[in-house]
Structure 1
Amino acid sequence: MPEITLMFWVLKILTTGMGEAMSDFLGQKSVPIGGAIGVFGFAYAMRLQLRQREYRAPVYWFAVMMVAIFGTMIADVLKDGTGVSYAVTTPVFAALTAYVFFRWHRSEGTLSIHTILTRRRERFYWCAVLSTFALGTAAGDLTAISLHLGFLDSVFLFAVAIVIPGLAWWRGNLNPIVAFWSAYVITRPLGASVVDWLGKPHAQTGLGLGDGTVSALALILFVALVAYTAVTKRDIQPARDRNLNISYPLGSGSSI
């Protein structure tokens, strides 16, 4: 796993938004082709990532990107295919995410990404990432569409929400692992709300740039930032953290 730096959060929010825009764009062009890209791209990215013996920025962030696209498709297909409202799918995905965390912690005794040193822990991690993407997609659409806040107001809402766990951790009032995963979940609706505001038509409270344009711009920026991290290697965890094979309980004051 990468070191948690400012670049990590920038790339995470960027991939969430890019996943939203690309999923919508592919769905507009061809649902079967878009679905095939989402499913097979996700499967290939996971296979590639799980075969790695150490963190590699291009492989890791490619996996995150494909999880973003696939997770968005899951949430959208459930809503559009069944007609179930976001008010229902949001708590369903929240319950699924909580279940993944419960099983992970029950099995491993920790949710710290600095102790992902086995394949089992890594599989738990990616299950959590996928469920948080689906949850964030549903939550973002719930506020913007179902609750009629619009995309820009949703951006402000989630921008404030993501700061809260960071401030609570900084002041020592929140466990760092809880703070990390709280912020991680919120990155999804935040990034999705930003790209929806940029890409959706004016009738839907957006700027009307188009999902294709927003996807292309986000992809260019994504490739540039991942290349930067791969070259500088500033996101490599220190050896003392990567080799630390201990389990931190959620109630401890340990680092993430």
Structure 2
Amino acid sequence: MTNPLPEHVRTILFNRVPEVTFAFWVIKILSTTTGETFADYLNADLGWGLSLTTAVMGALLVAALIAQFATKRYNSGVYWTVVVLISIVGTLLTDNLTDVLGVELWVSTLIFTLVLGITFGIWFAREHTLSIHTIFTRRREAFYWIAILFTFALGTAAGDLISEGLGLGYLFGTILFSALIGVIAIARFAFKANVVFCFWAAYILTRPLGASIGDLLSQAPADGGMGVGTTITSVVFLAVIVAVAAYLGSTVNRQRREATALIEDARLVDAA
């Protein structure tokens, strides 16, 4: 081909993470909610305890990441499996600090804020971008997943600090974090704020939003929840995640076929 591939075609064909669409944000919030409720289900309802739950979920995450890095490009099923598992493990990181080591939530929030900032700093210093539209290499993807893990841990700590530590409740947390995400959306689309900053800010905030929604649904009314329970909440949200992930996968496959057809047409034009 005479001309290089257009940027959007390169992204569709080679990017190792999904395009950021409305469906992306829906499944992201659902996965964070599931991470909160499923961790509580294993830890408390099944009586596994934090140590066993962390060990099992950590092992599953490692296996999922190996599968993810073994793929040549974005695979919807593998990718979202990693997101759900990393959501659970990120939740457990904060829970272990709080419940096992006795670290206060405001301290955990500060720690993960600093660690995430350092991660972004190293990532930018090495790659000169934090954009998720150019995750074409294994190194960039490694930075991406490390950042994702710390966003989940930070979001858990911040969400628990607001809802439980300050005693403001799960409904207040849900409203607060929804409003903050709304502010970011307005900044991005109305005032053209930096797209990379807005993405990561929203990504961090969807974690405490999802956690607040999960706790609001699953916890007992006496604790400020609706009493649905962790089992039902986890199963329903996992089912929706599977359905939306399947939709995203089919959409990506269609886009890849269209991009491949464009490349073939361009080759025919060059040959002529």
> Would the TM-score normalized by the shorter structure come out above 0.5?
yes
Which residue identity does 2:200 align to in structure 1? W
Instruction: Tell me, yes or no, if structure 1 residue 182 matches structure 2 residue 201.
Output: yes
The residue that corresponds to 2:142 in the other structure is: 123
Q: Give the Cα–Cα distance (whole angstroms) in 1 for the partners of residues 254 and 239 of structure 2.
A: 20
Which residue identity does 2:213 align to in structure 1? V
- Shift of the alpha carbon at 1:33? 4.0
Instruction: Tell me, yes or no, if structure 1 residue 223 matches structure 2 residue 239.
Output: no
Which residue identity does 1:198 align to in structure 2? L
Which of 183, 189, 196 aligns to 1:164? It is 183
Q: Give the Cα–Cα distance (whole angstroms) in 1 for the partners of residues 224 and 124 of structure 2.
A: 41
Which residue identity does 2:29 align to in structure 1? I
- Shift of the alpha carbon at 1:228? 2.0
The residue that corresponds to 1:19 in the other structure is: 35
The residue that corresponds to 1:3 in the other structure is: 19
Which of 86, 89, 96 aligns to 1:67? It is 86
Q: Give the Cα–Cα distance (whole angstroms) in 1 for the partners of residues 114 and 205 of structure 2.
A: 15
Q: Give the Cα–Cα distance (whole angstroms) in 1 for the partners of residues 137 and 173 of structure 2.
A: 38
The one-character-per-residue Cα deviations of 1:221-249 (angstroms, maximum 9, x if unpaired) are 11111122223337968969xxxxxxxxx
Q: Give the Cα–Cα distance (whole angstroms) in 1 for the partners of residues 39 and 255 of structure 2.
A: 30
Q: Give the Cα–Cα distance (whole angstroms) in 1 for the partners of residues 226 and 254 of structure 2.
A: 34
Return closer, same or farther for 1:7/1:200 CA change in 2, 3 Å cut-off. Answer: same
Return closer, same or farther for 1:162/1:4 CA change in 2, 3 Å cut-off. Answer: same
- Shift of the alpha carbon at 1:84? 1.1
Q: 8 Å contact 1:5–1:235 — kept in the other structure?
A: no
Q: Give the Cα–Cα distance (whole angstroms) in 2 for the partners of residues 218 and 235 of structure 1.
A: 26
Q: Secondary structure at the match of 2:206?
A: helix
| Structure 2 unaligned spans of 5+ | 1-16, 261-272
The one-character-per-residue Cα deviations of 1:188-240 (angstroms, maximum 9, x if unpaired) are 00011001000011121001111122111111111111122223337968969
Q: Give the Cα–Cα distance (whole angstroms) in 2 for the partners of residues 232 and 130 of structure 1.
A: 26
Which residue identity does 1:7 align to in structure 2? A
Q: Secondary structure at the match of 1:18?
A: helix
Q: Secondary structure at the match of 1:172?
A: coil
Q: Give the Cα–Cα distance (whole angstroms) in 2 for the partners of residues 104 and 203 of structure 1.
A: 44
TM-score (normalizing by structure 2): 0.84
The residue that corresponds to 2:13 in the other structure is: none
| Structure 1 unaligned spans of 5+ | 241-256
Q: Secondary structure at the match of 2:245?
A: helix
Judge which range, 169-178 or 121-130, deviates more. 169-178
Return closer, same or farther for 1:127/1:207 CA change in 2, 3 Å cut-off. Answer: same
The residue that corresponds to 2:218 in the other structure is: 199
Q: Secondary structure at the match of 1:13?
A: helix
Q: 8 Å contact 1:2–1:235 — kept in the other structure?
A: no
Q: Give the Cα–Cα distance (whole angstroms) in 1 for the partners of residues 259 and 61 of structure 2.
A: 30
Instruction: Tell me, yes or no, if structure 1 residue 95 matches structure 2 residue 114.
Output: yes
Return closer, same or farther for 1:57/1:44 CA change in 2, 3 Å cut-off. Answer: same
Q: Give the Cα–Cα distance (whole angstroms) in 2 for the partners of residues 235 and 18 of structure 1.
A: 28
Judge which range, 206-215 or 182-191, deviates more. 206-215
Q: 8 Å contact 1:143–1:150 — kept in the other structure?
A: yes
The residue that corresponds to 1:133 in the other structure is: 152
Q: Give the Cα–Cα distance (whole angstroms) in 1 for the partners of residues 86 and 64 of structure 2.
A: 8
Which of 58, 62, 65 aligns to 2:77? It is 58
TM-score (normalizing by structure 1): 0.90
Root-mean-square deviation (CA, aligned residues, Å) is 1.7
> Would you say how many aligned residue pairs link Structure 1 and Structure 2?
240
Which of 126, 132, 140 aligns to 1:113? It is 132
Return closer, same or farther for 1:81/1:236 CA change in 2, 3 Å cut-off. Answer: farther
